Amino acid sequence: MSTPISERKLANAIRVLSFDAVQKANSGHPGAPMGMADIAEVLWRKFLKHNPSNPNWHNRDRFVLSNGHGSMLIYSLLHLAGYDVSIDDLKSFRQLHSKTPGHPELGYTPGVETTTGPLGQGIANAVGFAIAEKTLAAQFNREGHNIIDHHTYAFLGDGCLMEGISHEVASLAGTLGLGKLVFFYDDNGISIDGEVEGWFTDDTQKRFESYGWQVLKVDGHDAGAITKATEQAIAEASKPSLIICKTIIGVGSPNKQGKASSHGAPLGDDEIALTRDELAWKHAPFELDDEIYEAWDAKAKGEALEKNWEADFEAYKKAYPELAAELLRRLEGELPADFDQQAQAYIQQCQEQGEDVASRKASFNAINTFQPLLPELMGGSADLAGSNLTLFKDAKGIEKDADGNYIYYGVREFGMTAIANGIAIHGGFIPYVATFLMFMEYARNAVRMGALMKQRVIHVYTHDSIGLGEDGPTHQPIEQLTSLRTTPNLHTWRPCDTTESATAWAEALKAKNNPSALIFSRQGLPHQTRDSEQVANIAKGGYVLAKEKSELQAIIIATGSEVGLAMNAYNTLSEQGVGVRVVSMPCAEVFTAQDSDYRESVLPSNIRARVAVEAAHVDYWFKFVGLDGKVIGMTTYGESAPAGELFKEFGITDEAVVDAVNSLVK
């Protein structure tokens, strides 16, 4: 009988593949994959529940490499375990359109669960995975039928823990008692600038214990100790677990292990030759023994796990057919068949009722209408539920009810948004999160990451302009709308009344492959008159709200609270005999995606006299008004005063719009 292959040799396969790929690319980070190889070998071969033949199996464990610069670690693991990641893919590391980009990217590589790179966000996504698993299990599992039952594992490094988001999400995870969440901390004491003891001296163990986590410490190169700690972590059902793994970065490299020089640069041909000798590795680059592949291959085990689950799910379907159908619908991200019809009926109802309310109140009404139709809605706010108006009628906080549908995030805008990205990626929920528009800035990078990953996350941002008044310039957004609108794959809606607010919500819910930002006012807004065609055209992002009463001479473009102002100017100008139309543009990104005929019908190219009005930074709107047009808005920060006074102070008035139009048509 042959001697079983050693765990160290299996881990060395990760090390060698990683430094060979980095060397071939002449770019990348070999140190982390080499340092974490032993941890990865234990987790992936002994504990991780997955199926390489079906990376999307619903009940798989989730694995997140939060320190995403160490991407060759996960690519090596995927290759060795039997995913559709070939040796040629590893040879194409960091090359254009390869399956192995510089940082793990969702959608590029089978088996990669989330995009990581900006440190700390991977662990936030992992918290989102764990929340989704726990809540979905509570909603759908029944006695004898644990259909949703998996763990979430994340690797992280010193950099992740230095980022402030780590505090936000780890604190919340402890409070929520996410017992199926396990973090492995690569405690190697090295970052790009060198030894971290000069700038990172936290007592990480005490820190996480204070959050309510189980904390375990091990030698990160001792497979037996890692195995034991992982078993303890899995056994602890009421607390998340942090396993602090003391490791040596770049271990195996005689001259670079333990040094920052192994962090973010190839080892070099000479050092690789020495490292091969140190590891007793005789093979040429990218060559492995068959016995290594056989020991790593997880396909047969994974297929058996999924087959067993499918049998369990069949039993569940027989016992609870309606629940099973609903679960599958939600996991596949499909809306109920009648949702669009129901949404259109509500939009029409809003138009007929014609209420004059703040758009945040209109949003609240929409949530209360749509939530009973969509039990997958998972709401939340960063300690502003009463101001954002996001706490719908039947909201149940998950901190008290495991099967709840609302998350009290506390003052954690960044963590909240990155967690929501994880919830969306997991499946089974459509998350929405809320704060003041100004405090989107705290969450900015997570908003971007959700757009990069094409996730259906709905960002509810209220108090959208100087119109919030007395709180002053610290709370008054100016440049934020531009920032959101120029974010690729993000749809930013700023509705002007109840009808546009209902449409914005409906479109955001239907948008399966992009996030949406819904921007709402604090102050009351007038309802606008529309015919059925105009109501339908709201969904096109921009439309003619008020038609010219004589030959068209000028166009006023407005959004949100300034649509009412534009309509007042329209009435004055029409009485003066000026042929002017008002275009409401609640979502410029959707409008610009329409065909050219429609865009021309709304904004005829021969009409150069154009005025845009919005209580936000002026620069965005020059793409619509051109150099011949004018924009009425903000170029400075605001002031603290009642809203009415502020609009006059900054010249965002009916009179200013009238004067601007007249100056262009004379």
What integer pLDDT is reported at residue 368 of this predicted model?
98
The helix (run of H) or strand (run of E) holding residue 15 is: helix 7-25
**pLDDT for 304-332, tens place per residue?**
999 999 999 999 999 999 999 999 999 99
Catalytic residue among 105, 306, 376, 413: 413
Label residue 51 by pLDDT band (50, 70, 90). Answer: very high
Taking a C-beta distance cutoff of 8 angstroms, is the pair 431, 125 a contact?
no
| Whether pLDDT at 2 is above 60 | no
Comparing C-alpha atoms, which of 80, 81, 104, 100 is closest to residue 90?
100
Written as one letter, the residue type at 530 is R
CA distance 663 to 666: 6
**Cα–Cα distance measured from residue 305 to residue 324, given in angstroms and rounded to the nearest whole number:** 19
DSSP H helices, 67-120, are 71-81, 87-91
| 3-class state of residue 635 by DSSP | coil
Taking Cα atoms as reference points, which of 394, 403, 352 lies closest to residue 369?
Answer: 394
pLDDT band at 666 (very low <50, low <70, confident <90, very high): confident
The per-residue pLDDT for range 167-185, each reduced to its tens digit, is 999 999 999 999 999 999 9
- How would residue 1 be classed by pLDDT, with cut points 50, 70 and 90? very low
For 165, phi and psi rounded to 5 degrees? -60, -25
> Is 113 marked active-site?
no
Q: How many CB atoms lie within 10 A of CB 150?
A: 21
End-to-end CA distance of the chain: 97
Using the predicted structure, report yes or no on whether residue 80 has a pLDDT greater than 90: yes
- Residue 3 reports pLDDT greater than 50: yes
463, 390 contact by CB (below 8 A): no
Q: What is the maximal distance between C-alpha atoms in the chain? A: 99
Sign of CA dihedral 223, 226, 227, 228: positive
Would you say how long the chain is, in residues?
A: 666
- Alpha carbon 532 to chain centroid distance? 35
Residue 237: pLDDT band (50, 70, 90) is very high
Among residues of the chain, what percentage have pLDDT more than 90?
A: 99
Task: List, for residues 533-568, the tens digit of each pLDDT value.
Answer: 999 999 999 999 999 999 999 999 999 999 999 999
Section 182-205 average pLDDT: 97
Q: State the amino acid at position 94 in one-letter form.
A: R
Residue 553, φ and ψ in degrees, nearest 5: -120, -30
Q: Examine the pLDDT at 287 and tell me if it is beyond 80.
A: yes
The residue-averaged pLDDT of 95-122 equals: 98
Q: What is the pLDDT of residue 69?
A: 98
- Would you state the pLDDT for residue 494? 98
Q: Extract the tokens encoding 244.
A: 């602090």
Using CA atoms, how far residue 18 sits from 72, 161, 186, 267, in Å, is 5, 24, 17, 11
Q: Residue 469 has which token pair?
A: 């008044």
- Number of Cβ within a 10 Å radius of residue 642: 10
Angle at which helices 339-353 and 359-370 cross, to 10°: 140
For all residues of the chain together, what is the average pLDDT?
A: 97
Burial class (CB in 10 A: 0-12, 13-18, 19+), 299: middle
Helices in 526-621 by DSSP H: which ranges? 532-537, 562-575, 588-592, 596-602
Separation CA 482–CA 559 (nearest Å): 13
What does the pLDDT read at residue 4?
77
pTM exceeds cut of 0.95: yes
**Mean pLDDT in residue range 643-652:** 97
Instruction: Please report, rounded to a whole number, the percentage of residues in the chain having pLDDT higher than 70.
Output: 100
Which position has the token pair 């159908």?
Answer: 325
